[in-house]
Structure formats: C-alpha cells, structure tokens
Chain A
Amino acid sequence: MKRAFLILMVLALFAGMLPGCAPAAQPTKAPDQPVKIDFWFAMSGKTGEVVQTMVKRFNESQNEVFVTATFQGSYDDEINKLKAGLQSKNVPAVVQIYDLGTRLLTDLKVITPMQDFIDKEKFDISDIEKNILNYYTVDGKLQSMPFNSSNPVLYYNKDMFKAANLDPEKPPRTWAEVAEYSRKLTKKDASGKTVQYGNSFAFYGWFFEQWMAVSGQYYTNNENGRKARATEATFNNDRGVALLEWWKSMIDEGISQNLGRSTTDTKKAFDAGTVAMTLDSTAALRDRVDAAAGKFELGVGFLPRQNEEDYGKAGTIIGGASLWILNARPQAEQDAAWKFVKFMVAAEQQAFWHINTGYYPVHAKGYNHPDDVAWREKYPQFQVAIDQLHMAPTNNVTAGGLIGVFPEARQTVEKAIEAYMTGTTPTAKQALDEAARSITQSIQDYNDTVK
C-alpha cells in the first residue's frame, strides 16, 4: 500500500512531464501550397463567432492563403500578449488592435504601414469612410486598416416616453433636454422610492472623450496630437467642467441613476426597464434589439450635445479597432495578410458585419449592399449611427486623441469622474485638473521612452 503510494507519486511526476503534443515544426511552403498565416483577434461571444465566419468565408473563397484565427482575450490581454511575443518574434501576421493602441503600435516600429501595401498596388481606398481613415492615419500614413467601427448613441425606451407624454420619435438632442425629459421619466412608488430613473450613463472614459469631441474640444494639445506629438492633456476646460456639472446635477436630483463605470450595468438596467435612457456604443445595438423584442419599443438617438449649435460644428470620434500587419513575419506572409485585410473590409463583408453586430460598415458601399438596405428597413435604428458618422466633419477634433498611454488615461478620467460624482472631489474643475495633470505626466514619460 505504501509502496503503491510511492510508485503513484513517481508516476504522477512523470505523467506531468509528458508533453501534450510535440511543438509543430514550421511548415515549409511548397509552391502550390497556400500561405498559412495567423490572425489574432479580441472579439468573443457572438461577435467572435461572426469574425470566425468571415475568416471561414475568406478561406473558402480562394486557395492561395489560409488564415487561422485565434481569440486572444480582451483587447488589453491581446496587446499584452503581443508585446510579450514581440521579443521572441512569436507574433501573428495580422492582429486586431483597439483604437487606443494606435500611437503605441506605430511607435513600436513593429508593423508595416497599410499605406505601403496600398501604394504598391494602387489600391483604391476612396470608398473607405474618410473619418475612419482619419483616425488611423498617423504621421501622414495610414498605419492600419479600420475593421470594426462604432460611435456612441442614446438608447431610449419608447414605451416609457409615451407613458410620460413625450414624443417617442423625438429623443432629446441637448443636455438641457436630457435633464428635462429625465425629470418627466422618473417615477417613484408610494413610499418615495424611485422605481424608474430617467437615465443612467456609465462613467466610461470613452463617453467623456466623445462628449469633448462633439463640443469641439481637443483631448490634448497639438490638435489632439495630430499636428505634432501630444505633450499635454487639455480637456480640463470650461466645456469639460460644464459636462460634469450637468451630469452630477441630474444624479443629485435623483433623475439619473449612478451605476458606476461599467456599461454592462447600465445596459442591464435599461433592458430590465428600470431606466428610460442610456448611452452605449452602436456595437451594442443588435443585442439591445434582441433584448427589447416583445418587451418594449427601442429608440435610438444621437449622442446629446451641450447645445443645438454644436451639431453643426463638431462630431463624434470613431471607436473600435483596426487590423495591423506585423513586419516580423516574412514578406510572403505579409502579402498574404494584405489579401486577407482587403477581403475583410470589402463591401459585402462589411455589410454582413454591420447586420450581425451593429458596428457600421467601414466601406461606404457596404450600406448600399442589398442585405444591408433590407436590414435597415426592418430596423431603422441601425441608420442613426451612420448618420451620426456622416454628420461629423473630418478634422483633428473628430480624428480623436493620439497618445501612447491612452488606456491609462481613460482610466484616470474615469476615476476622476467617479470621485466627483460621489463627492470625494468637491468640484468638477479640481477633478479634471488632477486627471489632466496625471495624464500629462504619463504622456511626457511615454514620450521620453520613444525619443
């Protein structure tokens, strides 16, 4: 018995040492074999399935390139894995990286700019949305190919609007209107407990960035870091203060519910019918449509602006992610990757992508695709984000901030907003000043490392 235990322990040790499978040798490419490339992406759940479907379609559409798509965790996990892999050149040929990583990936000098492939082939990109290209153009070159793009929209419950004698076809357009509508939409029960809030907006740094952009404000100096490298955060101005004060006044009045930083929670409250309005990315649209089906009528409106005049002057920034080709891979793989990228942004694929996710097509012809037209006839809500995109002028405000430390900056802003909303920081000005100071410091530290 004791001997058996010993033998078992030794066996166990050796069993653990057996490799699961031998490391695959690099396949040598025969001339008629397809080029095999890896593609890393960060979309999970249903959206991840849609990506896999598109990859499968690509592989079936031709026999020169075979793409293996692998999910690599959240955007943050994926970029960390990429950074770790770069040291040993263990990277894929194509990778999907979120908007915030644009400056960083460009500075790391590990990618081949998309512009090089476009120029070599004289590839026509006139049909790719201008505003989206604008975001991913750094130092005068298109660095990556936009793939999934979204902007924030106002989701509202039409049934609640009707019950509160508001026109369900007219969502609020300005901050004052949001407050006014919310007041009417807030309901209390007999004991004075609020059972329905007018709105709930997550303290999400992206919303703050968007609100600054629609107010015509730069996030950083040097025109968002687009004219020259950004050195200072500049959002701690009157517009930023006005935004936070308006937001807090609604929470203090009890017509806006504070559900913290996560849009997951505001979405859930909206679906459950305890708040009448919420903000979220258009990418959440398909799911809102499904969640509301049979329960209430879903309305979608523009991101509310401070005043009506702002609609003519500025617009939203694009969000989402783009596809990058890495220069650590052999040229043949990079060329194969380029074929794949072209396929992914083509009109037909982008229409499919739009319908199944809510991310709008980056290819203008995607809207005119019969499937997409039919879809929007059925769900006119999908039109709103596209209109909002086309409304936005193409300039350095809507191009969005370009800094190497954006993920960190966004969190700093979220912390500042939360501290002000919960009363830890007494004034909005102080909250934003502190956040701006901390971000400026990070930007300068980052700039020192890339010089």
Chain B
Amino acid sequence: MSKPTHLRKTAGRVLLYLLLTVAAIIMIYPLYNGVVTSFLSPSNVDTYPPKLFPIEFYVQNYADALQQAPLVRFVMNSFIQSSGVMMAQLVMASLAAFAFAFLPFKGKQLVFLVFLSTMMIPWESTIIPNYLFIQGIQWDDTYMGLIAPFMASAFATFLIRQSFMSLPRDLYDAATIDGCSNLRYLVTIAVPLARPALGTLAVYSFLQTYNQYLWPLLITNKVEMRTVQIGITMLRDAEREMWAVIMAGVVLVMIPTLVLFFIANRQLIRGLTAGALKG
C-alpha cells in the first residue's frame, strides 16, 4: 500500500467520523437539553442565553411532575398497550404476510391490493366509527379498547411480506417436499430469517402506539386507564408553561422507550448483519 492512498484513506476516515460526530451532536442535543432543563429551578429556566452545561440539580421538578399527573401508572398503561399492539401486529402480520407470500390462491393480487389500499384511509376518518363500536361493546376504559383497533395493520403485513418474498422460493419447496407444514415453515424457517423486518416492525409499532394521544383520550375516562401522552399534556398549562416540569415528565416517560431501544438494539444489529456479510 503506497503512502498517498494510505493518507487519503485516513483523511477520508477522519472526515467521516467528523460528519458522524456532527450528526450525533445534532441528534443528541434536544435530548440533552431536555434532561438539563428538567433539573433547572423555575428562576433559571428562562436564563438568556441558555446555558449549555447544567448549573444546578433541582429535583423538585420531578416531584411536581409526578404530583400533577400519575406518570408511573401512565407509563405502565402505555407499556401494556404498546406491547399488546406490538405483539398482536407481529403475529397477525406474519400470518397474513405468509399467505400473501407463499400460498397460491385465487385473486391473491386483488386481495393484496385491496389490503394495501386501506393504508390510504386516514386513521382520523375512521376514529368516530371505531369509537362508537368500542363504546358499543363496552370496551371503553379497558386495555382491550386501547389495543384492539390497532392489532392488524396493512403496513405491517406489507413490510413482512416483502421480507418473506426475498427468501428463496426453493427453500419453501424443499421444506414442503420434506413434509413440512405451512405453519411449521412459518414458525421455524420464515420468521427467524425475517428477524430484521420483524424487529423493525416491533420497534415501529411500539413507538407508534406509545406516542398515541387522541385515541387513548377518547376511549378512556378514568384517570387510572390513561396513557403517557395525556400525562404530558396534563403538565402543560394553557396559560403558564412550566418547562422544567414538562421536561421532567418527558424524561420520566422516555425511560421505558430507551430501555426497550437498548435491549432491541443488539437484537436488531445482529439481525441486520446476520446475512449481510457475504463478500
């Protein structure tokens, strides 16, 4: 290896890391600022220009946030709701995607298109019928009411189908010849191979549900059944924003998602790189 190329390589690498560092700072700054703000006392929140480094450690904000909204209960509710939706979507999407990817049946293309077309109906336009239905079967103020409308999703099915389609057809044929049933093929071969897509879907559906606001607000009347995003609005005063208290609430609410992310992260990276190193 000649010297100039070596140098150029190093320079390229330095530049790359520089860019990554800048990107990381841009990504992390809002989070960092939120955490720092959550420890400021009311008199220091409005300091101008804002301080980059924490100047105090005022934990009263957390006590205030917990007093204004039962956040622990909300986090638990959101966790149950989001996990429920996530697991239901994984199961439903895998099963539906399997049919669309592997099973031959009449009108498959048409059914799939109709399936996909539901993605074009905005959720907002179906919220009232959904509400009346859930209300009608008395599922308001229950976890089931929070979870049920989101158990099946066209997007999830599409995502998993694409992943299944990329599996070699021969694999399915070989397994079938060996007497492997469809369900067994799905569970023992297709699902493990589609782990990256399933992982992505899991994180996506969990966060999507965790961030819901309007549906939980509509369907719950009891405070004990409410979810985190409503909790955050409970901290937001229409006339007097207490930023430090809001940020304390946001930090508390963020913890479970961060934990999930760190747990899933290793799985995701393993899944993403499992079949990627061929050359």
Contact = CB atoms under 8 A, between A and B. Distances in A.
B170 interface: no
A16 B84 contact: yes
A42 B214 CA distance: 14
Interface residues of B, number: 56
A190 interface: no
Contacts of A88: 132, 135-136
B142 interface: yes
B230 A73 contact: yes
A72 interface: yes
Interface in B58-83: 67-68, 77, 80, 83
Contacts of A291: 42-43, 46
Contacts of A38: 221
Contacts of B151: 16
B135 A90 contact: yes
B225 interface: yes
B141 A45 contact: no
A18 B139 CA distance: 11
Given A44-B238, A84-B128, A273-B48, A17 B144 contact: yes
A293 B140 CA distance: 46
A45 B237 contact: yes
Interface stretch (A53-61, A172-180, A281-289, A394-402): A281-289
B225 A20 contact: yes
Which label, helix, strand, loop or mixed, suits the secondary structure of the A interface? helix
A437 interface: no
Nearest to B84: A16
Contact of A70 (B43, B146, B223): B223
Contact of A81 (B188, B218, B235, B238): B218
Nearest to B138: A23
Contacts of A10: 91
A44 B87 contact: no
Interface in B103-151: 127-128, 131-132, 135-136, 138-144, 146-147, 151
Given A23-B140, A295-B43, A43 B238 contact: yes
A283 B140 contact: no
Interface string A56-84: 00000000000000111111010001001
A101 to B, nearest CB: 15
B144 A74 contact: no
A322 to B, nearest CB: 15
Contact of B88 (A16, A90, A268): A16
A371 interface: no
Contacts of A77: 214, 217, 233
Interface string A31-56: 00000001000111111110000000
B241 A264 contact: yes
A48 B43 contact: no
Contacts of A22: 142
B147 A16 contact: yes
B12 to A, nearest CB: 38
Contacts of A42: 238
A450 interface: no
B40 interface: no
A2 B188 contact: yes
A162 B233 CA distance: 39
B237 A16 contact: no
Interface in B172-193: 187-188, 191-192
B251 interface: no
A27 interface: no
A38 B91 CA distance: 39
Contacts of A70: 221-223
A365 B133 CA distance: 48
A6 interface: yes
A2 B186 CA distance: 11
Most B-side CB within 10 Å, residue of A18, A44, A46, A72: A44
B132 A87 contact: yes
A127 interface: no
B217 A81 contact: yes
B68 A45 contact: yes
B101 interface: no
Nearest to A23: B138
Contacts of A46: 68, 237, 240, 242
Interface of A: 2, 5-6, 9-10, 12-13, 15-24, 38, 42-49, 70-75, 77, 81, 84, 87-88, 90, 264, 267-268, 271-274, 281, 283-284, 286-287, 290-291, 293-295, 357-358
Given A13-B88, A46-B242, 9 more contacts: A19-B142, A20-B143, A23-B142, A44-B235, A44-B236, A49-B67, A81-B217, A81-B218, A84-B218
Interface of B: 42-43, 46-48, 67-68, 77, 80, 83-85, 87-88, 90-91, 127-128, 131-132, 135-136, 138-144, 146-147, 151, 187-188, 191-192, 213-214, 217-218, 221-223, 225, 230, 233-242, 245
10 contacts: A12-B90, A18-B144, A44-B237, A45-B245, A46-B242, A47-B240, A72-B217, A87-B128, A284-B240, A293-B43
